[in-house]
Structure 1
């Protein structure tokens, strides 16, 4: 996956720069075309000449050092790169990237590139845990940057903990794995539902639930990034979509979502129902606001149509995935739902567990296919959960699990 790829290696200042030398060498040995760009601080640890010898290309350190007057160097390299790897990535360069700061050649080039960017942090354990650094990393993750988590161990500062730059082989493995995902769903059409529905009581009141839609949106984004043409049916959420491969359709009620999902079902190869649809709605909707009364107010509720069951009933060749948000007996209830609704797989999460469930940016789920082989995805960002779920789905469609 790196052979003949144009790779920009951004090196920022930290003691882990020495590992970037080995990374340059290994990438070159695997047939990658590597160009190294260093911050001024990085040059205090290792000479640019070292990287020039290892990459067999000029090393870039100064925005204003234009080696070819016919080209603007940082724009030319930004366009040239297929992949950008920032290793080591200090708290400083991460902060610049998250805040649009471009005060040197590396930060300026990263603002201009359209390449896939992989960030391999390396810093003191307390710096890595600082709220500002965490905030910046979460923002970059949301924007589609890819993080290669640092290892835990003895650090140069004398502390022991998380913050050590991952080994060069592991960095390459992470990039290769992710690059392989990019084409998993090329030519496939994926239908995803996300978020809550709202069921009206009167002009000012409605029933809904705590779903934010973040998990479903992350799945739609992951599928689109892996080459799929995605239709996203979104309930009432405060989320944006920017991927050109996602066609978003907004709905409000369970009835509207039922209608849209059935309209698009037959045209799609993979259908993932991540939405938290209301099971009940008010039997009577009032045209005027109901005034406060001295007595209790009872609202009679009626069942909404079961979207997932109805899709399972008419399923042909589609790969149909449901979600089960549970608070007890999660695995047992999820597997029961898997078979009852004729699903190909189900994603189960216990929303009562810290870090999982509605509203947050993380999740903990169990993926179960028709062979009833539970696969745990431990606490991680919803974006990474989505990536892993799509990889499981791709594997099961190919029939690689026996």
Structure 2
């Protein structure tokens, strides 16, 4: 039997002490691991086949309220109809006192007894000032000078029928210089403000303003199928510096280009000329505005006879060019057998702010001083058959 040396005997107690320390530390680590493992096992159930995650504890109502709800689906695209007619009003030239006679309303129901021709948005060019009394007109009456001031209730009747886009910039915007209701355009503005305040539906008046600093504003229209923002600008191709302070003139359109370009709904530019030279300018402005993608619809008036309606390419898709729609209901205008009512159907995707022309129809109208009569209706263009560049 081998015996330990004295030096080896001295080493045994020290080795035993270190082993005891190591053993104690190992047992402590094992105990900690067992505790942690037992906690994990409380969250897990074991079977011979699989490990399965235990059900999560229920979420408290307070925490549930903080969780994001399911996102709502984007609004669907919807369709709407825009119609447009030409020069309108209800008055006689140089009539000092206007008496309301329901003239426009009666004449319209003779034209459209069932109101089948109007759409969701309906434009007309109101070629008169608005007021009840005029003490001084812009010129004395002759066979070549005309001055029109229409009773405000006649305009209200047109609005009640469905006309909600009213163009007011033309060569008759300043026909009354002096009236107890206001001087010049202020007379019209006073009545427009009263009509707007009492209107139960969205409405756009464009073409006259308190000052040249007033910017056109977009109007949100709530239609049966959805909402569409509309920006319409009515402007007169003519006028001097004084005239254009309160009437929007074509010479000022450059300042509205950014506004038109940024708008993501329907954009309409309606211009009125007063002679052949200004009408040629009107055509150039409308064509250029469409080509540059500033507008979707360009409407002209002034010659008192309809001209062509054309579908043109724009950066945002097909647009409408109508250099003149001729006359509509106006007792002071001469009989005109060829006028047009323009009807167009559009689709709008609110989520993408995307507008698309779907179809264009024209209705030929024959007008006398008392009323208008529908004639021939024609489908001019349809998205389904859009390979051809159509015109009327």
Give the TM-score category using the shorter length: 0.3 to 0.5
When Rg is computed on C-alpha atoms for both structures, the one with the higher figure is 2
Bigger share in helix? 1
Highest relative contact order (Cα 8 Å, sep 6+), 1 or 2? Answer: 2
Q: TM-score, normalised by structure 1?
A: 0.33
Greater strand fraction, Structure 1 or Structure 2: 2
